[in-house]
Structure 1
């Protein structure tokens, strides 16, 4: 892989499978060990993981990016040695792991905002460990929104040709349904159009999923489509955006896979996550829209049940790193 841009990978929760999938992915993507990405995290965890996997990597601790030299065939680890004497228990939640993984995401965000890195790629964090550590952030997205002061940050999942842009993610189903308003749907469509245009799509085809079964069946099963979603679609069409819908959620993803839509705007978390993971579970990755930098991520959790067993599949991390590189070079999704 020709990694000319500066990509920073966060280690994620050191007690999960993040370190393992990172090492495996880099070993596959960079067999010649040239131009390796930066890792933000704990060096001793990486060394231990690399040794356990039997993968030969050299690690070089750097205190800041001013001391960064990518000519040497080693992985540069941005590590302040704060956790040098802390043992992270594999497969278990802890305050220490929560503090560390949260700190690394904060640092990566700061570096991305200041343009010191071209993109960030994140390994999975554990929300419970963050809560144990006293953080109010539910996940990465909340940190990005807070630090960038963005009015709206959204998550899109990608698996092959299927792409799902989520109107909302970390809301209960009852709250997610209330969030489906003309204003919010219109904002999501416009944000999707903006990013896809930036990513090389000419006149991107945006399909919008309905909230209710059968797209409400003419008002027989709810009225959200007529009152909120359709008016948003029509308003965006008037501005020249190539958008259509709302379509029943049981058919729109089939149409997207068959090239009718470049991306589907979905109304809530599971409406987008389920088709993505059924279509290509291992290959699925996450991308954020609405932030002034590129962020990709694996689309899986810390998997404490298999952490430390060296059986984690690195495919999602491989795809996330590749997409971070592609987008940082203004390539098409």
Structure 2
């Protein structure tokens, strides 16, 4: 599919009380190399007020469906906004947990999913939501990933964090540490390895090298520090190798990420949330992206939260959103190329 006829990419506004509105209007004023049109699913008044606060020359115009978008969707300084949920009150404060904001953030994501499933948009890029605000609105999902997977009807999904130096797939996502240890099962391990390989293929890596981090210190040290590594993780790695996946490990968690940065591996499977996200975020969130692997559409996200401590103050950095958009564009291009029967380029 040519870029000029490609369905637009939708950016969801995230929690309206967070930095989402600011990073979106800043992005909208930046020059872009891609000709894929953009739209925002969110509240046009909220975005307009933020643009005015920042003194940005930004024209926002409403649409009701992605098919209405034309060349205005690729012009810096112009952005289409598609509404979802209830209109926000002008007095909604920045930087505070608010049930109205939580409900709105979920509505933006749900509408984006509907458009992605029917092919009206080519990808979703999400600004951050706030779990406490969603909970205040009676929404029990722990995060974006679970909403996306549930609405898309997929059980085989995972979260990958990526930047220019690391790609990290998680075995479990938003669980307590005690629950995450119980989630280390052969089935979950094999699924995470498969998803890591699938994500690497989407980046154009034909035979990815997948490293699996151990659960225990020193990957169990032969059973001295726990048996999960040799009785659960190692057998799953063996099964993945039987399927033709170049998987190895379990490797000690304190060195595997360093070796991946040095080019020894293309992706690392981490056993739980913080084991995988700390090394990625330590390298900086500006060029980090959150990718949901296993969905029937492309979804990327910023690698930071709602940043209530600086929300509404005009100091938020849009770099992570810019990077997430570029990664979504690259994955859409790779998907188009694969459908055309051509070699996928890195």
Q: Same fold (TM over 0.5)?
A: yes
What residue in structure 1 maps to residue 32 of structure 2? 30
Displacement of 1:199 in angstroms is 3.1
Q: Deviations over 1:100-124 (max 9, x none)?
A: 1110000011111111111000000
Displacement of 1:28 in angstroms is 2.7
What residue in structure 2 maps to residue 66 of structure 1? 67
| Unpaired runs of at least 5, structure 2 | 335-343
| Unpaired runs of at least 5, structure 1 | none
What residue in structure 2 maps to residue 237 of structure 1? 241
What residue in structure 1 maps to residue 337 of structure 2? none
Please state whether the residue corresponding to 1:108 is helix, strand or coil. helix
1:233-312 equivalence runs, <5 A: 233-312=237-316
Measured in 2, the distance between the counterparts of 1:3 and 1:242 equals 34
Please state whether the residue corresponding to 2:29 is helix, strand or coil. helix
What residue in structure 1 maps to residue 137 of structure 2? 133
What residue in structure 2 maps to residue 161 of structure 1? 165
TM-score, scaled to structure 2: 0.91
| Alignment RMSD (CA, Å) | 2.0
Measured in 2, the distance between the counterparts of 1:226 and 1:35 equals 47
Check whether the contact 1:34–1:71 (CA below 8 A) recurs between aligned residues: no
What residue in structure 2 maps to residue 42 of structure 1? 43
Change in 2 beyond 3 A, CA 1:277/1:332? farther
Measured in 2, the distance between the counterparts of 1:323 and 1:163 equals 13
Check whether the contact 1:30–1:36 (CA below 8 A) recurs between aligned residues: no
Measured in 1, the distance between the counterparts of 2:49 and 2:135 equals 27
What residue in structure 1 maps to residue 340 of structure 2? none
Check whether the contact 1:3–1:37 (CA below 8 A) recurs between aligned residues: no
Displacement of 1:88 in angstroms is 2.1
Change in 2 beyond 3 A, CA 1:80/1:288? closer
TM-score, scaled to structure 1: 0.94
1:180 aligned to 177, 184, 188, which one? 184
Displacement of 1:30 in angstroms is 3.5
Measured in 2, the distance between the counterparts of 1:34 and 1:260 equals 35
| Higher relative contact order (Cα pairs below 8 Å, separated by 6+ residues) | 1
User: Number of matched residues?
Assistant: 331
- Could you list the structure 1 runs, at least 4 aligned residues long, displaced by more than 6 angstroms after superposition: none
1:102-113 equivalence runs, <5 A: 102-113=106-117
What residue in structure 2 maps to residue 11 of structure 1? 13
